[in-house]
Structure 1
Amino acid sequence: MNPSRVFGITGWKNAGKTTLTERLVAEFVRRGWKVATIKHAHHDIDIDRPGTDSWRHRAAGAGEVALVGGRRYAIMRETPEPSLSEVLARLSPADLVLIEGYKREAHLKIEVRASRDSEPLAPGDPAIVAIAADVQPGDGNLPWFPRDDISAIADFIAARIG
């Protein structure tokens, strides 16, 4: 995956990162782009449900289980957390990869802010190149977008990644 086609959505918990990511995916798809996403969680995740056959395979000790259906598949692997570059390398080609989370990585990002009360991330992260917030931040040299101005945010991302 070309790192220049990667853009991040970062911010503190409950700032609106998932909503912004979802709306940006829809906007870029509407524009004819092929989009992939990566969602980083700081806790253990499990996409399988206890009692299902694939869950039982993993519970029995399988280190990797592929769950295949008519329109999609998932491969669950028991492993230490891979690096972002390892995950990017496994994705199919896309026009854009939106990354939600990974706030400590060096890819270009937009910071989503829910209120002025949360500690801003941008002053300590040169990879944050814009702010999305309901109110224009007072700390700023960075471009600001209202969180609902999806078209303008998408235009900004498209311009930044070329």
Structure 2
Amino acid sequence: MRIYGVTGWKNSGKTGLVERLVSEISGRGFTVSTIKHAHHATEIDHPGRDSYRHREAGAREVLVASPVRWALMHELRDQPEPPIEELLQKLSPVDLILVEGYKREAHPKVEAHRSETGRGLLATTNETIKAIASDSAVEADGLPVFDLDDTASIADFILGEVGL
């Protein structure tokens, strides 16, 4: 599977960039899936729902299905968070998987950067970052720099990097 990441500090524009890239790349006829890493206990279910009640009762996995989608929730129940390689195996084959977050993992990444965060570039200490997408001029030590809103050029770069 071809994997490319979007990383950056909080509020740097990662989610918006991933959203635009999914639209741009899938609009070109490629199939795209995403993995989003969260540092907090993300809740995709809500108290009172049947599926929530199943999980609260102790179910390890709950699969919810409808005529338009299905979702599988897996409770770790004090087990460690699985590595990204294990999670990738759970996805159906596609042309490209875009990964949001996972700063320290080995896959190549574009760094989303907004000057308003007041944070420096991750790329200065992270060799897996292959380009910068920024809302301002940045010194990137020879890495390609794209305007954060130039989705087509960033998509071109990523597709070229993964050979699509």
Letter paired with 1:107? H
Residues 1:107 and 2:104 are matched in the alignment:
no
How big is the shift at 1:78? 1.0
Aligned counterpart, 1:93: 93
Aligned counterpart, 2:61: 64
How big is the shift at 1:140? 2.7
SS in 2 for 1:57: helix
Distance 1:136 1:157 in 2: 20
Q: TM-score, normalised by structure 2?
A: 0.94
What whole-Å deviation, never above 9, does each CA across 1:78-122 have from its counterpart, x for those lacking one? 113111000111100000000000001010000011117312100
Alignment of 1:13-162 (within 5 A): 13-79=10-76, 80-115=80-115, 117-162=118-163
* Identical aligned residues as a percent: 53
The 10-residue stretch of structure 1 (77-86 or 10-19) with the greater mean CA deviation from structure 2: 77-86
Letter paired with 1:104? R
The aligned length equals 159
How big is the shift at 1:138? 2.1
Q: Does the Cα contact within 8 Å between 2:146 and 2:153 map onto a contact in 1? A: yes
SS in 1 for 2:47: coil
CA gap of 1:159–1:139, structure 2 versus 1, over 3 A, is: closer
Moved segments of 4+, more than 6 Å = none
**Alignment RMSD:** 1.0
What whole-Å deviation, never above 9, does each CA across 1:56-92 have from its counterpart, x for those lacking one? 1111111111111112111111113111000111100
Q: Please, which runs of 5 or more residues in structure 2 have no aligned partner?
A: none
Distance 1:68 1:136 in 2: 46
Q: TM-score, normalised by structure 1?
A: 0.95
How big is the shift at 1:136? 2.1
Aligned counterpart, 2:6: 9
